[in-house]
């Protein structure tokens, strides 16, 4: 049976209207509704289903961030994860935390906890990086099965159907491996009231990147954050000649 590590990220809720901060250095997060990244929910659900099928023995959820990140760990625990690890990162440093840092953190934890399978969401809905799974696999020198929409676990290998631009691809890879969950992998469950109450008693271990020997000094500097340009209205033209004329004027043809 596999030991599974699931990465969960606390992001601004998908339904919230995002507002850029007045100082243009980021978006407003204070008092804004946050929840678990939807793709991470799918990852947690997959891990819990594996445990129910007795393919997985223990599931550990990890989140990197300030104190509030614990909320999503609790949600994961309420869905059926066994224990949590909160890698505490102060708010200021969290602004410049990148997948390169997170992947190193996950890799170190995977080694410490003797993990066989890492499952993360394919990307976070705030930065849309789509890098953590791939980088983590590279750091560990493990195979990766990204954009998974169906997973079958054999004794020593995984058969994964991936949704790629060209269609569906089925690959086999050895375990241990890193998987990233795509939308159609499963439909996450609602936490039941008994499980929410049980989750309160499950442990969340705390550690810092320093404890793991990972350097999280920023590799990037946020120069500015701006709203996308307002869409300009179109123009209705009387005939094709006018259209061609306008296109020539605009230097498009």
Partner 1 sequence: MMSVRTLSKCIVTATQRKRCLRYFSLHRLPEGHLALQAVAKRFAADKLKPIAAELDREHRFPSEQIKELAELGLMAVTADERWGGAGQDTLALAVAVEEIAKGCGGTGAIVSIHNCLYVDLVNRFGSDQQKEQFLKPYTDGTLGCFALSEPDAGSDVGSMLTTARLEGDHYVLDGTKSWVTSGTEGKAAVVFATVDRSLKHKGITGFLVPMCSDGLSLGPKDDKLGIRAAPSCNMYLEGVRVPKDDVLGEVGDGFRMAMKQLDKARVGIASQALGIGQAALELAVGYASQRKAFGKSINQMQAVKMRIAEMALRLESARLLVYRAAVLCDEEDRSTKESSMAKLAASEAATHVTHSCIQILGGVGYVTAMPAERHYRDARITEIYGGISDIQRLLIGDIVIKQYE
Residues lying near partner 1 in the complex (CB under 8 A) are found at 35, 74-75, 78, 190-194, 196-197, 199-200
Q: How far apart are CA 17 and CA 150, in angstroms?
A: 32
> Token digits for 120?
């993360």
* Shortest distance, position 191 Cβ to partner 1, whole Å: 5
Q: Which residue has the tokens 């509030």?
A: 68
Q: Nearer Cβ to partner 1, position 211 or 227?
A: 227
CB of 35 to partner 1, least distance (A): 8
How far apart (Å, rounded) are the C-alpha atoms in residues 67 and 34?
13
- Considering the complex, state which of residue 171 and residue 196 has its C-beta at the smaller distance from partner 1: 196
Distances (CA, A) of 60 to 21, 67, 118, 129, 204: 35, 18, 10, 23, 9
- Look at residue 68 and give its three-state secondary structure: helix
What is the nearest approach in angstroms of partner 1 to the Cβ of residue 199? 7
CB of 192 to partner 1, least distance (A): 5
**Least distance from partner 1 to the Cβ atom of residue 41, Å:** 11
Phi, psi of 232, rounded to the nearest 5 degrees? -80, 145
Q: Which is nearer to partner 1, 201 or 252 (CB)?
A: 201
CA–CA separation, 212 and 227 (whole Å): 37
Q: Does 176 sit behind a cis peptide bond, omega within 30 degrees of 0 on the bond before it?
A: yes
How far, in Å, CA of 7 to CA of 11, rounded?
A: 13
* Beta-ladder partners of 54: none
Contact call for residues 179 and 146 (beta carbons, < 8 A) = yes
The alpha-carbon radius of gyration of the chain (Å, integer) is 21
Q: Which is nearer to partner 1, 83 or 150 (CB)?
A: 83
Nearer to partner 1, 194 or 250 (CB): 194
The residue among 75 and 146 lying less far from partner 1, judged by its C-beta, is: 75
Shortest distance, position 200 Cβ to partner 1, whole Å: 6
CB of 230 to partner 1, least distance (A): 17
| Identity of the residue, 17 or 231, whose beta carbon is nearer to partner 1 in the bound complex | 17
Distance CA(68)–CA(90), nearest Å, equals 10
């Amino acid at each position: 049976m596999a030991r599974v590590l699931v990465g969960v990220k606390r992001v601004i809720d998908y339904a919230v209207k995002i507002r850029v901060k007045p100082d243009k250095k980021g978006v407003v997060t204070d008092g804004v509704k946050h929840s678990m990244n939807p793709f991470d929910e799918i990852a947690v659900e997959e891990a819990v289903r594996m445990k129910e099928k007795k393919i997985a023995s223990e599931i550990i959820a990890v989140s990197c961030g300030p104190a509030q990140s614990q909320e999503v760990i609790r949600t994961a625990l309420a869905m059926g994860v066994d224990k949590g690890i909160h890698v505490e990162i102060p708010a200021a440093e969290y602004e410049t935390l990148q997948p390169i840092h997170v992947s190193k953190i996950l890799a170190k934890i995977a080694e410490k906890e003797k993990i066989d399978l890492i499952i993360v969401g394919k990307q976070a809905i705030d930065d849309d990086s789509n890098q953590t799974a791939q980088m983590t696999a590279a750091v560990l020198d493990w195979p990766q099965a990204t954009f998974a929409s169906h997973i079958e676990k054999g004794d020593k290998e995984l058969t994964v159907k991936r949704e790629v631009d060209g269609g569906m691809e089925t690959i086999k890879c050895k375990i241990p491996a890193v998987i990233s969950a795509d939308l159609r992998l499963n439909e996450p469950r609602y936490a039941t009231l008994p499980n929410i109450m049980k989750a309160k008693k499950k442990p969340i271990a705390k550690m810092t990147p320093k404890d793991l020997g990972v350097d999280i000094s920023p590799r990037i500097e946020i120069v500015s954050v701006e709203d996308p340009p307002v869409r300009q209205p179109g123009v209705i033209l009387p005939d094709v000649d006018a259209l061609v004329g306008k296109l020539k004027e605009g230097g498009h043809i």
